[in-house]
Amino acid sequence: MSEDGHRILPLRAGRRAAGAALLGWLDDDRSPRLCRIAGSAGSGKSHLLDWLAQGFATEQAPERQRVHAVLPAGGVNVRAAVWSLGHQLGIHARLPEDLVTALGDSGGRTVICVPELGDAADPGQLVAELLDPLLKLERVRLIVEAPTGSLAALGLTAVEAPAVLDLDQPQWTDQEKFEAWCAKEGADAAAYPSPGAALGRVGRPAPESVAQLAARVPRTPDGAPDPAGAAEALLSGLWTATVREGSTDQLLSDAALLTYAGPVAVTAALDSIVTVVPGEASDGPERIEGPVAAGWDAGGPALIAETDPGVRAAVLRTRLIGLEDAAAARLATVPGPWRGAWALWPNSSLGWPGPVAGLAVGAGRYAGQLLLADLSGTIRTVDAVTGTPLARVETSGPKPLRGLTVTPAGHLLLLDSWGSPEVVPAAEPEEGLDPAALEAALSAQRVAAEAELSVLAAVPGLPSAAPAVADGAGSVHWYQDGTVLGERLHDGPVTALAGAVSDGAPVLVSGGFDGAVRLWSPGSAVPEPLDRRAGVVTAVAAAESPAGLTVAAAWGDGLVRVWRGGRPEPVLDLRLGSQIWALGLAAGLVVAGTPEGVAAVDF
């Protein structure tokens, strides 16, 4: 145990000196940004890095010795590596440049550990496209398992003189403790300093063939493969074997085989499916972009770290709705905690609204509908239950929006990218404030605001209430009886706002640049956050339900979290593989607007 109470696991086989050297490198700002762990097969490289990950890749580890992400590189390709590191670091990243840019802009120190680099799907490509560019960032440090002279080691050129911890060198292994360990384990002490050699575990068994692995997959009574009854490791090995034998495309006939196998193996296998069009000039092979493979790619950042096959099936199914109905129907048979109800993606058979930058639940003439705004500010409506596209909303002209909301009377309120609100009157309004009263309330709120308006939200169920607004200084404002009630709820801009009625009173849900989500009753003191995570809150939603107030929030890394009935613990965490730009709660569904389209989830 360290001086600050952090528990450090013991290092076996006399390797305490190696562990101390590694921690010393982490703690020294003057050390090279790359530490390469070298040594022959069986020298204990993986064991040392497992020890480091277990003890120092946690929030309890001292900050100067903390490892922020661990990428076991065995079988990993570039896409899977980017998705995995992005998930661990709270960054939504699809491409290497996304991750490199985000870490370059963060300003904080990031330590990444990469065991088994030589076993990556393509070690040279992983180094050239991702690891070496990361090493060029001044605040990024890498610990990499790569033997001297290996292709992976030679490709790491961003740091000219890395620190090298070669476990074949005897100074990193206490011989007396090594011999004591060998006596306890019944190992050969003459193999010093190699624990693997001492245990006789240097060689690797020959990999099984596709036929051998397929024969071990359980079968249903009618003779069909039963992926639900197979171990994940078996199915992952099957996907990896198909890459070696060039038969990966055959597995795509059953989409469930993707979701029961490990996502790293599936991602690498799908990257191997290539075709060359006969008779056409080409600089190289072109990847087959079938809907299932494309759906996996779209959901990849959500799939890569998900351990539940039911959730993986739900993500992939949601990505295939309207694009590959047969595969979506097969995936619907995999049990999971939530399911996609409908979705509108590019090339969908239902239609496509484009990227959804803003979303509002309809009221008045728009009751039962959702209003979706694209990047230009063009607004379209869809049926809230089915997602069926309905109509385009006439406004004074498309312009980029920060927000839109619908009042109980059916008037549409827009907030443009410059912080100016606009009221679009309903042709046949229902009970509620008229446009003149709305304009007066918004004018008063703009005067009271501490900075430019950033978001706005109407409160369903309160016809006489004006919409709430929030500003770039962190304050939320509520107009009541000619008076503006305001409270600073966030450090930095308010980035998301929603309203609902709970027990007959308005409740405003806000999210901020500070990563906090708060529920505020106008006129009350500043509440404790319902939740706080690293990264900006990109969207919130609220609605009253028979179970009580339901609240949803999304953050910049793509996580959507849902609470119900006023309980502090979430009832659902979900990711779709995209950033979430807008949220709504309608017809018992969570509706998420993304850069690719919109999807509704039932849970």
User: Looking at residue 150, what is its pLDDT?
Assistant: 86
pLDDT in tens, 47-79: 999 999 999 999 889 999 999 999 999 999 999
Last residue of a domain, one of 173, 199, 225: 199
The sheet with strand 412-416 has its strands ordered as 401-406, 412-416, 421-424
130 and 33 inside one domain: yes
Does residue 5 lie within any of the structural domains? no
Evaluate whether 130 touches 112 at the Cβ level (below 8 Å): no
319 found inside a domain: yes
**Tokens matching residue 161:** 């003189």
Same domain, 113 and 250: no
Q: Rounded CA gap, 291 and 144, in Å? A: 36
- Provide the token pair at 356: 């959804």
For position 567, what pLDDT does the model report?
Answer: 81
User: Domain with 552 in it: what CATH number?
Assistant: 2.130.10.10
Structural domain harbouring 180: 16-199
Pairwise CA distance, residues 102 & 93, whole Å:
8
195 and 225 together in one domain = no
Residue 238: strand, helix, or coil: helix
Question: Do 137 and 158 contact (CB within 8 A), yes or no?
Answer: no
Residue of 495, 575, 576 whose CA lies nearest to 536: 495
* Predicted local distance difference test score (pLDDT) of residue 4: 54
Contact 378, 356 (CB under 8 A): no
Q: Which of 308, 337, 366 lies at the terminal end of a domain, its last residue?
A: 337
At residue 517's C-alpha, the angle toward residues 111 and 298, to 5°, is 60
Instruction: Give the helix, strand, coil percentages of the chain, each rounded to 5.
Output: 30, 25, 45
Q: Which two tokens stand for residue 174?
A: 């206490």
Structure tokens at 374: 């694209």
- Return the structure tokens found at 299: 């959901």
| Structure confidence by residue, pLDDT tens digits, 322-345 | 999 999 999 999 999 999 999 999
Tell me the CATH number at 28: 3.40.50.300
Contacts of 413 (CB under 8 A, 6+ apart): 404, 405, 406, 407, 421, 422, 423, 424, 438, 442, 456, 458, 467
Q: What is the DSSP string of 438-450?
A: HHHHHHHHHHH-S
- How many residues does the structure list for the chain? 603
For residues 195 and 190, what is the distance between their CA atoms, to the nearest angstrom? Answer: 10
Q: Measure the CA–CA gap between 5 and 596, rounded to whole angstroms.
A: 47
Tell me which DSSP letter residue 219 carries.
B
**What's CA 24's distance to the chain center, in Å?**
32
Q: Are residues 503 and 535 in the same domain?
A: yes
**H or E segment at 501?**
strand 494-502
- In angstroms, rounded to a whole number, what is the distance separating the alpha carbons of residues 546 and 569? 18
Which residue matches tokens 């509520």?
Answer: 478
Separation of first and last alpha carbons in the chain: 44
Q: Which of 298, 295, 317, 294 is nearest to 602 (CA)?
A: 317
> Could you give the angle at the alpha carbon of 118 between the alpha carbons of 117 and 122, nearest 5°?
90
Question: 300 and 446 share a domain?
Answer: no
One domain for residues 321 and 376 = no
Instruction: Say yes or no: 474 and 558 in one domain.
Output: yes
* Domain contains 106: yes
Q: What is the pLDDT of residues 556-567, one digit of tens each?
A: 999 999 999 878
| Domain annotation covers residue 8 | no
Collect the ranges in the chain with pLDDT lower than 70: 1-6, 274-289
- Give the angle subtended at the CA of 184 by the CAs of 182 and 190, to the nearest 5°: 15
With respect to residue 191, please indicate whether it lies within any of the assigned structural domains.
yes
Under 8 Å CB-to-CB from 440, ≥6 apart: which residues? none
- The encoded tokens of residue 132 equal 């070496």
Taken in order 459, 465, 467, 473, the sign of the CA dihedral is: negative
Residues 369, 263 share a domain: no
* Number of separate domains in the chain: 3
All residues at 6 or more sequence positions from 260 whose CB lies less than 8 Å from its CB, including other chains: 227, 228, 230, 232, 235, 309, 334
SS3 87: helix
- At 383 the three-state DSSP class reads strand
- Whether 390 is covered by a domain: the verdict is yes
Contact 540, 508 (CB under 8 A): no
pLDDT at res. 545: 86
Residues 103 and 75 in one domain: yes
Determine the Cα–Cα distance for residues 452 and 94; give it in Å rounded to an integer: 32
Take residue 554 and report the two structure tokens written for it.
Answer: 């999304």
Nearest to 471 by CA among 521, 420, 437, 424: 420
User: Could you count the other beta carbons within 10 Å of the beta carbon of residue 209?
Assistant: 13
Residue at token pair 């013991």: 10
**C-beta of residue 460 within 8 angstroms of C-beta of residue 361:** yes
The residue among 175, 199, 223 that closes a domain is 199
- Whether 367 and 277 map to the same domain: the answer is no
437 in the same domain as 539: yes
Q: Enter the tokens of residue 516.
A: 């906090």
> What single DSSP character describes residue 409?
T
Residues 548 and 450 in one domain: yes
Cα distance between residue 344 and residue 322, in whole Å? 7
CA 435/CA 559 separation, integer angstroms = 37
**Is residue 386 one of the residues assigned to a domain?**
yes
| Beta-bridge mates of residue 457 | 468
Q: What is the pLDDT of residues 234-248, one digit of tens each?
A: 999 999 999 898 888
